[in-house]
Every structure is written in C-alpha cells, then in structure tokens.
Amino acid sequence: MKLLICLGCGQHLFDEEPDRCPLCGTASNRFRAEKEIEQRYRVVTSKVTDQVRRLVVEPELGIASYRVESGQDSVWIDCPAVFDRDLERVEAILFTHGDFMGACNRYRELWGTEVYLNELDTGHRFARGHRGPQGPRGFQAGFA
Ligand SMILES: [Zn+2]
C-alpha cells in the first residue's frame, strides 16, 4: 500500500494522491513517502505533569498529542503524525477527532495497542478495525 504524508499537517494519505491534502489544502508536491518522513522527523516528549507528557513531531508536523499515565495503564490522547518505534508503548490511543489519525495503524501493528474513536468518526476510511467510543477502564470520562 502506498503511504504518503502531508508536510502541511501530517495527515496520512493511503492509496491515492489527491491534488491537495483533503485536510489542510497543501499541494501534492509537499507529500512525502513514509520512509522519508521517518528519516527526517522524530517525536519529542516533554513533561506537562507527573502523569502527562506532551508529544510533538520535530521539525513541526501535525498536532501535539499527549501521553497520560494512570499509574497502571497509559494512553495517548491523539497520535503523533510520525511513526517512531522508540516511543514507549501505550495500552490505547484515544482520538478526539477523526482527522490527524497519523501513524496510529503503525503503532497498533507494533504494540497491539487498542485504538478508540468518537463514534461519529468510526466511518473514517483510516478507521478500519478500530473500536467505538469507549476507552479502557479509568479513561472513559470525556469520551463517552
Ligand atoms: Zn495536510
């Protein structure tokens, strides 16, 4: 499967190369193959609180995501745009929206991580095999 990534927003584009990114409108000459993206970009983690870490892609690409620790489990709120196999595993990835699903399918393959979407986003074409709206126990608040 051909996988392109938009340099404007980090959106992953599968099986197609539209003239412009459907999410941010960036022209197709700024789409790059996943392998090139993995070589040029990395995910940087910074502390927000003892239980929360912020993940950003450098150079800047996509949106910030967050790692939340409960003491027992850990989840991401949204997913980095870039696949970085050196990141610490999470039990689940919880999305606040259907766009910027980033590299979640790659992390799911690597870690067996569960991916949860808002029910209204489950029809998204990148959402194959993901679950509905409820997160793992202890992380359901705000996602029901
Ligand atoms: Zn884009």
- The span from the CA of 139 to the CA of 75, in Å, is 8
Determine the distance separating the centroid of ligand 1 and the alpha carbon of 30, expressed in angstroms. 9
How confident is the prediction for the chain on average, in pLDDT? 81
Q: Residue 144: which pLDDT band, with cuts at 50, 70 and 90?
A: very low
How far apart, in whole angstroms, are the C-alpha atoms of residue 139 and residue 144?
Answer: 10
Given a cut of 80, whether residue 52 has pLDDT beyond it is yes
Among 10-14, 17-21, 48-52, 129-133, which range has the highest average pLDDT?
48-52
Contact status, residue 139 vs residue 96, Cβ threshold 8 Å: no
- 12 C-alpha to ligand 1 centroid (Å): 8
Given this model, what pLDDT does residue 122 score? 66
pTM above threshold 0.75: yes
Ordered by start, the domain boundaries in the chain are 3-121
C-alpha of residue 57 to centroid of ligand 1, in Å: 15
Q: Which two tokens stand for residue 17?
A: 């190369």
Ligand 1 mean position, distance from CA 26 (Å): 5
Q: 27 CA distance to ligand 1 centroid (A)?
A: 8
* Tens of pLDDT, residues 111-141: 999 888 877 666 666 565 555 544 443 333 3
What confidence tier does 16 reach under pLDDT thresholds 50, 70, 90? confident
CA of 32 to the centre of ligand 1 (A): 11
Say how many Å lie between the CA of residue 84 and the centre of ligand 1: 20
Separation of CA 23 and ligand 1 centre (Å): 5
d(CA 133, CA 88): 24
> What pLDDT does residue 46 have?
97
pLDDT, mean of residues 51-60: 94
Residue that has been written with the tokens 């003491």 in this structure: 71
CA of 36 to the centre of ligand 1 (A): 16
pLDDT of residue 143 exceeding 50: no
Q: Band the pLDDT of 56: cuts 50, 70, 90.
A: very high
